[in-house]
Amino acid sequence: MSILRISRFPVDQGENTNAMKCLLAIILGVAFIAVESKVVPASGDDPQETQPLQISDHIREAQNLINNLGAQIQQQLNLPNQEELVNTFKEQSSNLATNVQAYIRNITDEVKNKTPELETLWTNVKTRLSEMVDKLNVNPETTEQVNQLRSTFQEGIQTLVTESENAAKSISENSAIVQEGIAKMTKQAIDIAVEASQNLKNQLTQHATTPQA
């Protein structure tokens, strides 16, 4: 399966479109682990019959979500008030960082207390996500710095995609309990990505429908 490649943000009107695409890319990026995960089937199920269907369903659902959100958000990009757009990106970046921090804490506790076999894999992922959070928490004030923040945000998303691919490749090498742990990790990550995308879409829609002074 190929990985979604994200180009760098140009400092022009088109960067808004790329920024939105990058946020949507979180969904596909974190879905890579889920769609590739070989979760142990329930007793009596034939893994050869159930797994292809599960993988196909995950791929179709993730792609449909990206396509639908992408089409809706594209209609909200040409906002007349660019300051509002900048503030929206800053607010949603901060919210995403907060949610990822909570996710890191929760998964770290679960790995320590319930699934120590997952520690090596999770430590590597946690390091990349922590670096992403540090960059997202930078709160520049000037427009030029905001453009830099968007580029940093893009790099963070690319890290999510890369780490998802690496984890997916290692799944078959791990025990059943580790496979289940990876599946749980990815489900929570997908929930965070979907919520972040939906919140951003809603906020842009609100800006687009609010009469300008």
Chain segment 122-137, per-residue pLDDT in tens: 888 898 889 888 887 8
Sequence-ordered alpha helix ranges (H) in 114-209: 119-136, 143-170, 176-209
Beta carbons of 176 and 51 less than 8 angstroms apart:
no
CA geometry: angle at 164 spanning 163 and 170, to 5°?
Answer: 90
- The answer to whether the predicted template modeling score (pTM) of the entire model surpasses 0.75 is no
Give yes or no for residue 6 having a pLDDT over 50.
no
Output the pLDDT for position 41: 44
Beta carbons of 196 and 99 less than 8 angstroms apart:
yes
Domain ranges of the chain: 84-208
CATH fold for domain 84-208: Four Helix Bundle (Hemerythrin (Met), subunit A) (1.20.120)
What is the Cα Rg of the chain in Å? 18
Amino acid at 146: V
pLDDT in tens, 16-43: 555 555 555 555 555 444 444 444 444 4
End-to-end Cα distance, the chain: 48
- How does DSSP classify residue 116? G
